[in-house]
Amino acid sequence: MSGILDSFGRSIDYLRISVTDRCNLRCIYCMPPGGVPLIPQSEILSYEEIRAVVRAAAGVGINRIRLTGGEPLVRAELPRLIKMLSETEGIEELSLTTNGTFLKRSAPELRQAGLTRVNVSLDTLKADKFRDITRLGELGDVLEGIEAARDAGLNPVKTNVVIMRGMNDEEILDFARMTLTEEWHVRFIELMPFSGGVEFVPSAELREHVGLLGRLEPCPDGTGITGNGPASYYRLAGARGTIGFISPRTEPSFCSRCNRIRLSPDGRLRPCLLSEDEIDLKTPLRNSAPPAELERLILKAVASKQEHHDLEGGDAAPLRARGRRGAMNRKMSQIGG
């Protein structure tokens, strides 16, 4: 069995798990300079509790897991969790999203533990701008981490790029050129409305810019790159890599391809990133609930998925106007990217 059909006929086969709200960077669209109040360690799910959730998820048809944060690699002994999950019956893919700063030292161990591949968040190719955007860290660490992940076999390594107007939008072609000469798989992601003062750039405008380098040809399915996630993938003529666009704010049909639910570090199952709806798994886990109860709650989360998010014209204002307390009042580091 693969996937669970929600109320709108979408197959939900993908669980994103945030293993921590901690991060070693302070990216301007994710956290304020001083960070955010942290979830007490006692409230964060243990590895054994996460494994119990994944076993239940696999039992109802979810077969793909992605570990996120915060920065997942700041959590101690993460390879131990990866090994536990990679040995779970029914799980076919186990991947990780990271800022890449610790990949150089950890990539071989992650691969040996059973990790399938990684996505690396990288919003600039300029060292000074990297420090401006992340407030901490060094660009060289991330670039070396990407190479280490490739060398370890965590392929394809995909690079997630959030383009912000007036901040890094002049680097659109720089990232696109990387796909011409090297096997880079760049994904341009529209900035989500979690923090004010930073303007997003619509994917249509990004495609226009990239088109200056040549015609973009859609990537066929079955290449090992396209998957069945939210990105639309293209390749420039003769390019070794690919260019993807993830357009949650401007693509009307974006939500029709949704295939995921999310688990927060404190055990809250979220059917949609941009909804306040959450289902508590931590309490039943700590009350020794049987697997059947966890499966029931996961199915409940899938059944409660909305047809589409509440952004109107790419604007988060409608949620705030209705006084909803969901994602708009929680930082991405507290939900899981």
| The predicted structure's pLDDT at residue 1 | 45
Write out the two tokens for 195: 């923090």
Task: Read off the pTM.
Answer: 0.92
308 by DSSP, 3-state: which? coil
Q: What are phi and psi of 322, to 5 degrees?
A: -85, 0
Domain that holds residue 299: 4-335
The DSSP string of 22-54 is --S---TTT--TT--PPPPGGGSPPHHHHHHHH
Write out the two tokens for 191: 């900035």
Closest CA to 158 of 179, 140, 174, 141: 179
pLDDT digits (tens, 9 = 90+) for 242-287: 999 999 999 988 889 899 999 999 999 999 988 888 999 999 999 9
Task: Give the orientation angle of helix 127-134 with respect to helix 139-152, to 10 degrees.
Answer: 100
Q: How many other CB atoms sit within 10 Å of the CB of residue 110?
A: 28
First-to-final CA distance of the chain: 27
Q: How many domains does the chain have?
A: 1
Own/partner pairs, 123-128, CB within 8 angstroms, 24+ separation:
123/27, 123/161, 123/162, 123/163, 123/164, 123/168, 124/168, 124/171, 125/171, 125/174, 125/175, 125/178, 126/171
pLDDT < 50 positions in the chain: 1, 313-328
Domain holding 147: CATH number? 3.20.20.70
| The predicted structure's pLDDT at residue 183 | 92
pLDDT digits (tens, 9 = 90+) for 31-80: 888 878 899 999 999 999 999 999 999 999 999 999 999 999 999 999 99
